Structure 1
């Protein structure tokens, strides 16, 4: 197993996965997956529950170690990962600002005082996701769409050029889904590579690239505009 970072800015793929196998003790999930994640694009991971979408995101994020194969990152900063329920529980008494500040812990540590640069990164992420006016609100008080934007802001505050999202629009109303989709498109245009697992057909169709997983195998990889099998996302 290898996880490598390549700082060359000239390669089209932000991430390359080769013959990847990964899973959990006694339960293999991903089997010989080979794929490319193009830079500066929105990639949708689709497939039925249990197909390996969350596991693949975990491997790309570095929180799940592959059992074999190779993951090559064309970049020098770790990915930012927003799990399906976020890294913050609904019942924790955290404000939106405190939630986004957690995105700086990777550089600063959870017990060290944030620097001026850290606060500037948090302010920029809050404003970019349109939740700056909610900074003093408790996370648990927000609507589903507002909460999800706060969690994406937490990922953005890490200043990574690779943002990994697990079901970022699940359970949201159509307007909230459209808002988040538009924000992700803007982030990709500004230099962030987006990878999101989704069951939502509109989200999958609006992505630049679609990867379909079936029982741990990569079924189809391609541009969504020419991808007839994207309807198997559900």
Structure 2
């Protein structure tokens, strides 16, 4: 074959190898983003209307997340917040709307102390999703129900579910680094469930009524609300 033909063959081979490398890189990036963001990846994909745009958005979130000065809570603060959560959960019996509002406020306070933005729901979601992507569906649902509660459109069952959803993110925010995605905040099959709040003031028959005081805070760490 002539030199010109060899040059063409070489260029074709290089192009094929480059295309294969690019395809492997994009697949690896997609797999990484899916692992990191969980269901949030699919939500952004649907909203953006295409994989390239969705992944640009998610990579942008990662870059902005790197600028945050995040910090863990010390054990004493974790205990205090868990005691506060128990008191909020107990209030659900007599004032479910107020309890849901307080749950939202408590989650926001913990966000702020951890170093996350505490204003603007979508901004909070964008930053939280980088490390807590698998819990963002809980947070979105809780936020939606809270909005309905302000206009008296949420049923007692809706409000109970909001408490469950807020609890999922609350527990992840309190968990030490590296345990957030493996702790009890995940709601899946086979997990242990805590007594859930009911309007009638009773708990699921499989669990004792929630205690109060410091002991309640300690026990609250060992239980999660039933999804």
Q: Which protein has the bigger helix share?
A: 2
TM exceeds 0.5? Answer: no
Q: State which structure, 1 or 2, has the greater radius of gyration over its C-alpha atoms.
A: 2
**Which has the higher relative contact order, 1 or 2, with Cα contacts under 8 A spaced 6 or more apart?**
1
Q: TM-score, normalised by structure 2?
A: 0.30
1 or 2, which has the higher strand percentage? 1
